[in-house]
Amino acid sequence: MSLRQRHLLGIEPLAPDEITALLDLAERYVVLNRSGRKHTDVLAGLTQINMFFEPSTRTQASFELAGQRLGADVLTMQVAQSSVRKGETLIDTALTLNAMHPDLLVVRHPSSGAVNLLAEKVTCAVLNAGDGRHEHPTQALLDALTIRRAKGRLHRLTVAICGDIAHSRVARSNLILLNRMESRVRLVGPATLMPAGAADLGCEIFEDMRAGLAGADVVMMLRLQKERMDGGFVPSMREYYHRFGLDAEKLARAHPDAIVMHPGPMNRGVEIDGLLADDIRRSVIQEQVEMGVAVRMAAMELLADNLRAARAG
């Protein structure tokens, strides 16, 4: 079981067998995380530094817990309060941290490509925790694990990804992963929230949500990312909910066993009905959070293996 890359910067470089191996390893961590003793020493002696240049609740907590459960020394930089505020560049910050000899660097950044750039400058393994509109690989992997557990497979599924696709690194990483695993992806949302060139991404596009959900096995809702919008992408929240908000009536178009997903944080009553989000017969939103810790443990273990092999060789 191994990853061919030194870093986890995106789903794009991963082959299907690597995705499957990572998810299989994560399954073992699901068991550990549900047990009374959640500790291993897989990362003992290694240092993990988390740098979040954008606000994050679950991803940051998830990476911290994952590192701690694997026995690493874990430091989370409060970037908003650090020298970055004083004008230090991303690269300077990275080189300063690199001098402290971290083994794993977890980075979230508002600019697409920033994490790749940083990975070129440091000697440790870098994990992308979300860069701009580009990629969010551990989110797509935790979504894949959640889907595989609910549906028993990752191939020949119809997955509707709905809402603010244009601003979403979650949509991009999921689209790449699901295509690679031979599932069919539909992107559903208003034309103003579709990325340019969406039609070339190997998916179907729907502006009518009921048509887009018809027969879907998985309905993945996305947050309306107002912080990445600079103007009138949607007429009003009410109108948006009416046309693209997931409620029981629209969900009835999907397969009767369809699961409902959302990466969080949710805008209840904007992209999803609050009661539906909490309905554990349909919604796997809490399970996604649980799978997040396991998937991050697996990813860090595989990258640490590579690091040790490189140092030994």
Minimum CB distance to ligand NCD, residue 110 (Å): 10
Instruction: Evaluate whether 213 touches 219 at the Cβ level (below 8 Å).
Output: yes
Distance of CA 201 to CAs 177, 180, 186, 278, 287, Å? 12, 12, 10, 32, 28
Instruction: Evaluate whether 123 touches 149 at the Cβ level (below 8 Å).
Output: no
Residues 104-163 that bind ligand NCD (CB under 6 A): 130, 136, 139
Task: Mark 163-192 with x for binding to ligand NCD (rule: CB under 6 A) and - for no binding.
Answer: ------xx----------------------
Minimum CB distance to ligand NCD, residue 170 (Å): 5
Minimum CB distance to ligand NCD, residue 246 (Å): 15
Strand partners, 187: 161, 205
Characterise 126 by phi-psi region: left (phi > 0), alpha (psi -120 to 50), beta (else). beta
264 binds ligand NCD (CB under 6 A): yes
Residues 193-232 that bind ligand NCD (CB under 6 A): 223, 225
Return the residue nearest ligand NCD (CB atom): 223
| Smaller CB separation from ligand NCD, 46 or 145 | 145
Minimum CB distance to ligand NCD, residue 262 (Å): 9
| Smaller CB separation from ligand NCD, 220 or 251 | 220
- Report how many residues bind ligand NCD under the rule CB under 6 A: 11
Minimum CB distance to ligand NCD, residue 224 (Å): 8
Minimum CB distance to ligand NCD, residue 263 (Å): 4
Minimum CB distance to ligand NCD, residue 72 (Å): 21
Whether cis (ω within 30° of 0) applies to the bond prior to 265 is yes
Please give the backbone phi and psi of residue 141, each rounded to the nearest 5 degrees, phi first. -70, -40
Q: Long-range pairs for 13-20 at CB < 8 Å and ≥24 separation?
A: 14/137, 14/177, 14/180, 15/180, 16/180, 16/181, 19/141, 19/144, 19/154, 19/177, 19/180, 19/181
Cα separation, 157 vs 218, in Å, equals 8
Task: Mark 57-76 with x for binding to ligand NCD (rule: CB under 6 A) and - for no binding.
Answer: -xx-----------------
| Smaller CB separation from ligand NCD, 136 or 296 | 136
Cα separation, 214 vs 41, in Å, equals 47
Interface residue list for ligand NCD (CB under 6 A): 58-59, 130, 136, 139, 169-170, 223, 225, 263-264
